[in-house]
Chain A
Amino acid sequence: MVAYVAKFDDLEYNILYMVEFERLKQELKKINAEAGKIRELPVEERAEFGRKVNEKRREIMAKMEEVEKALLDAEIEPIDVTAWSGVNEPMPEFYPVEMGSMHPLMTELDRVCDIYQLMGFDIEESRQLDDEYHMFDTLNFPKEHPARDGYDTFRTEEGFIPPAHTSTMQHRVLKKYKNRLGDGKSIAVVVPGRVFRNEDVDATHEHTFYQCEGVYVSEDCTMGQMLGILREFFENYYEQKLNIRTQPGYFPFTEPSLEFMIEKPKSLGGKKGDYLEMLGCGMIHPNVLEAVGIDARKYHGFAWGGGIDRLVMLKYGLPDVRYFESGNLNFLRKFN
Chain B
Amino acid sequence: MKISLNWLKRIVKIPDEVSDSELIRLIGARLVEVEGVIDETHKYDNIYVVKVEHAEHIPDTHLTLCQINTGKTELVQVVCGAPNVREGMLAVWIAPGATVPASVHEDAPFVIGRRKMRGFDSNGMLAGADELDFGDDHSGIVEIDPNEAQPGDLLADVLELNDLVFEIENKSLTHRPDCFGMIGFAREVAGILGLPFDTTSSMVGDDYLKLSHTGRSGKKVLAGNLLDAVRNIRVKNSSQNMMLQKEQRSDVLSINISNSNICQRYTAVVLEKHGEIRKKYLTWTDTVLSKSGMKPISPIVDVTNYLMLLTGQPLHAFDYDKFVAVGGGKQATINVRLARNGEKLVLLDDKEIELNENDIVICSNDVPVALAGAMGGKSTAIAEDTGNIIIESATFSLYNLRKTQMAHGIFTEAITRFTKGQSPYQTLAVAGECVDLLASGYRVVSVEDNYAELNQRVVVKITAEEINGLLGTKYDSELIARTLLNVGFEVVRLKSGLKITVPEWRTDIHIKEDIIEEVGRLLGYDIIEPTLPLHGTAEKNSMWVLKKTLRALMAKLGANEVLTYSFVSGRLLERAGLDTANSYKIVNSISPELQYVRQSIVPCLLEKAYMNQKLPVDRFAIYEMNKVYRKEDGLGSEQVPVERVSMGFVLAERKNKDTAYYKAKKYVERVFSEFGIVPDFMPISNNYTEARSYDKNRAAEIWVKGEYVGVVGEFKNSVRNEFKLSQYLAGFEIDLDKLMKYMSGKMSVDLSEREKRDLTIATSDTYGKLVKKINEALEQNNAEAEIKPIGIYQPKEADKKNISVHLEFTKYNEGIMQILEKL
Closest to B469 in A: A222
Task: State whether the Cβ of B54 lies closer than 8 Å to any Cβ in chain A.
Answer: no
Q: Does B68 contact A (CB under 8 A)?
A: no
User: Which residues between 594 and 622 of chain B lie within 8 Å of chain A, taking CB atoms?
Assistant: 594, 597, 604-605, 607-608, 611-612, 615, 617, 619-622
| Interface hit among B266-274, B387-395, B519-527 | B519-527
The 8 Å CB contact of A101, one of B561, B567, B619, is B561
What CA separation (Å) do A150 and B658 show in the bound complex? 54
Minimal beta-carbon separation of A150 from chain B (angstroms): 6
Given A227-B530, A246-B526, A248-B30, A155 and B588 touching (CB < 8 A)? yes
Contact A96 to B558, CB < 8 A, known contacts A221-B533, A327-B608? yes
| Contact in complex: B667, A94 (CB < 8 Å) | yes
What are the interface flags for A142-155 relative to B under an 8 Å C-beta threshold, 1 for contact and 0 otherwise? 00111101100011
Contact B533 A95 (CB under 8 A): no
CA distance A122 to B543 in the complex (A): 12
Cβ–Cβ < 8 Å partners of A75 in chain B: 717
Contacts of B666 in A (CB 8 A): 84, 92-94
Chain B residues near A328 (CB, 8 Å)?
611-612, 615
Which A residue sits closest to B594, measured CB to CB?
Answer: A207
| Interchain pairs with CB closer than 8 A, number | 371
Contact B577 A245 (CB under 8 A): no
CB neighbours (8 Å) of A259 from chain B are 33, 172
Q: Do residues B640 and A131 form an inter-chain contact, with CB atoms below 8 A?
A: yes
- Asked if B562 is an interface residue, CB under 8 A from chain A, the answer is yes
A287 CA / B531 CA spacing, docked (Å) = 26
- Name A95's closest neighbour in chain B (CB-CB): B558
A224-B531 CB under 8 A given contacts A79-B698, A144-B402:
yes
Residues in B with CB closer than 8 Å to A245 are 29, 526
Residues of A within 8 A of B683 (CB): 81
Would B471 and A224 count as touching, CB distance under 8 A?
A: yes
Asked if residues A81 and B537 are in contact (CB atoms below 8 Å), the reply is no
| Chain B residues, Cβ within 8 Å of A83 | 662, 766-768, 789, 792, 803
Within 8 A of B (CB), among A185-241: 186, 188, 194, 196, 198, 200-201, 207-208, 216, 218, 220-225, 227-232
Among residues 433 to 471 in chain B, which have CB atoms less than 8 Å away from a CB atom of chain A?
A: 469-471
Residues A120 and B536 in contact, CB atoms below 8 Å apart: yes
Instruction: Tell me the chain A residues, 106-123 only, with Cβ under 8 Å from chain B.
Output: 106-107, 110, 113, 116-123
**A93 to B745 alpha-carbon distance, docked (Å):** 26
Decide if A157 is an interface residue (CB 8 Å cutoff): yes
Min CB–CB distance A251 → chain B (angstroms): 10
- Determine the distance from Cα of A117 to Cα of B700 in the docked complex, in whole angstroms: 39
C-alpha spacing A160/B640, complex, angstroms: 8
CB distance from B700 to the nearest CB of A (A): 4
Contacting B at CB under 8 A, from A240-290, are 244-250, 252, 255-259, 283, 285-286
Q: How many residues of A contact B (CB 8 A)?
A: 120
Which residues on B sit within 8 Å (CB–CB) of A127?
A: 627, 640, 643
Q: Which residues of B contact A82 (CB under 8 A)?
A: 681, 700, 766-769, 771
Per-residue CB contact flags for chain A residues 55-84 toward chain B (1 = under 8 Å, else 0) read: 000000000000001101101111111111
**At the interface, yes or no: B551 with Cβ under 8 Å from chain A?**
yes
With A82-B766, A146-B402: A257-B511 Cβ-Cβ less than 8 Å = no
Q: Is the CB of B658 within 8 A of A256?
A: no
Known A-B contacts A146-B174, A223-B528, A231-B530; the reply to A78 vs B698 at CB < 8 A is: yes
A259 to B29, CA, bound (A): 9
Contact residues in B for A333 (Cβ distance below 8 Å): 560
Residues on the B chain within 8 Å of A43, using CB: none
A310 CB–B CB distance under 8 Å: no
Decide yes or no: A122 and B718 within 8 Å by CB, A98-B558, A100-B557, A255-B517 being known contacts: no
> Any chain B CB within 8 A of the CB of A329?
yes
Decide yes or no whether A97 CB sits under 8 A from chain B. yes
Q: Which of B559-582 contact A (CB under 8 A)?
A: 559-567, 577, 579
B-side binding surface: helix, strand, loop or mixed?
mixed
- Tell me if B697 counts as interface (CB < 8 A to partner A): yes
In the complex, chain A residues whose CB is within 8 Å of the CB of B161: none
Identify the closest chain A residue to B544 (Cβ).
A123
Pick from A94, A150, A208, A229: contact of B566, CB below 8 A. A208
Per-residue CB contact flags for chain B residues 399-432 toward chain A (1 = under 8 Å, else 0) read 1001100100000000000011000000000000
Partner of B626, one of A97, A194, A257, A285: A194
Kindly list chain B residues whose C-beta atoms are within 8 Å of the C-beta of A227: 525, 528, 530
Q: Assess the B611–A327 pair: CB atoms within 8 A.
A: yes
Cα distance, A1 to B584, chains bound together (Å): 20
B700 CB contacts on chain A under 8 angstroms: 81-82
B801 within 8 A of A: yes
Q: Within 8 Å of chain A (Cβ to Cβ): is B86? A: no
A332 touches B561 (CB 8 A): yes
Tell me, yes or no, whether A293 is within 8 Å of chain B by CB.
no
A89-B657 Cα distance, complex, nearest whole Å = 9
Q: Are B32 and A248 in contact (CB under 8 A)?
A: yes
Query: Nearest residue in A to B713 (C-beta to C-beta)?
Result: A81
From residue A183, how far is it (CB to closest CB) to chain B in Å? 14
Cross-chain contact B530 with A228 (CB below 8 angstroms): yes
B8 at the interface (CB under 8 A from A): no
Contact of B697 among A76, A98, A324 (CB under 8 A): A76
Query: Nearest CB to that of B540 among chain A residues?
Result: A117
> Are B173 and A145 touching (Cβ within 8 A)?
no
Q: Is the CB of B622 within 8 A of A123?
A: no
B554 part of interface (Cβ distance < 8 Å): yes
Q: B792 — which chain A residues lie within 8 A by C-beta?
A: 83-89
Which of A2, A131, A157, A228 lies in contact with B585, CB distance below 8 A? A157
Residue of B nearest to A72 (CB): B717
Asked if B514 CB lies within 8 Å of chain A CBs, one says yes
How far, in angstroms, from A222 to B683 measured CA to CA in the complex? 60
Chain B residues in 8 Å Cβ range of A92: 658, 662-663, 666
What chain A residues lie within 8 Å of B552 (beta carbons)? 102
Q: Tell me the complex Cα distance, A86–B697, Å.
A: 13
- Do residues A94 and B558 form an inter-chain contact, with CB atoms below 8 A? yes
Instruction: Check B718 against A248 for contact (C-beta < 8 Å).
Output: no
Q: A142 CA to B325 CA in the complex, in Å?
A: 41
Q: Does B695 contact A (CB under 8 A)?
A: yes
Q: Specify which of B532, B533, B658 lies most central, judged by the most chain A CB atoms within 10 Å of its CB.
A: B533
A165 within 8 A of B: no
- CB–CB A69/B530 < 8 A: no
The CA-CA distance from A258 to B621 in the complex, in Å, is 44
- Contact between B398 and A324, CB atoms less than 8 A apart: no
A222→B525 CA distance, assembly (Å): 12
Chain B: minimal CB distance from A45 (Å): 36
Among candidates B525, B620, B699, B717, residue contacting A81 with C-beta atoms closer than 8 Å: B699
Cα separation A245 to B713 with both chains bound (whole Å): 54
With A76-B717, A103-B563 given, can you name 6 additional A-B contacts, CB distance below 8 Å? A78-B697, A102-B554, A154-B588, A186-B533, A247-B525, A336-B555
A-B contact pairs, 25 of them (CB 8 A): A2-B579, A9-B686, A76-B698, A76-B717, A81-B661, A84-B792, A87-B794, A90-B791, A99-B620, A122-B538, A125-B544, A146-B402, A157-B585, A158-B584, A162-B586, A207-B590, A225-B531, A228-B530, A229-B533, A244-B530, A255-B511, A327-B564, A327-B611, A328-B612, A329-B615
User: Which A positions have Cβ atoms within 8 angstroms of B?
Assistant: 2, 6, 9, 69-70, 72-73, 75-103, 105-107, 110, 113, 116-125, 127-131, 134, 144-147, 149-150, 154-158, 160, 162, 172, 186, 188, 194, 196, 198, 200-201, 207-208, 216, 218, 220-225, 227-232, 244-250, 252, 255-259, 283, 285-286, 300, 324-325, 327-330, 332-333, 336
Residues of B bordering A, CB below 8 Å: 28-33, 171-176, 398-399, 402-403, 406, 419-420, 469-473, 511, 513-514, 516-517, 520-521, 525-526, 528-533, 535-541, 543-544, 548, 551-552, 554-567, 577, 579, 584-590, 594, 597, 604-605, 607-608, 611-612, 615, 617, 619-622, 626-627, 629, 638-641, 643, 658-659, 661-663, 665-667, 670, 681, 683, 686, 692, 695-700, 713-714, 716-718, 721, 766-769, 771, 789-794, 801, 803
Closest 4 CB pairs of A and B: A224-B472, A95-B558, A82-B768, A222-B472
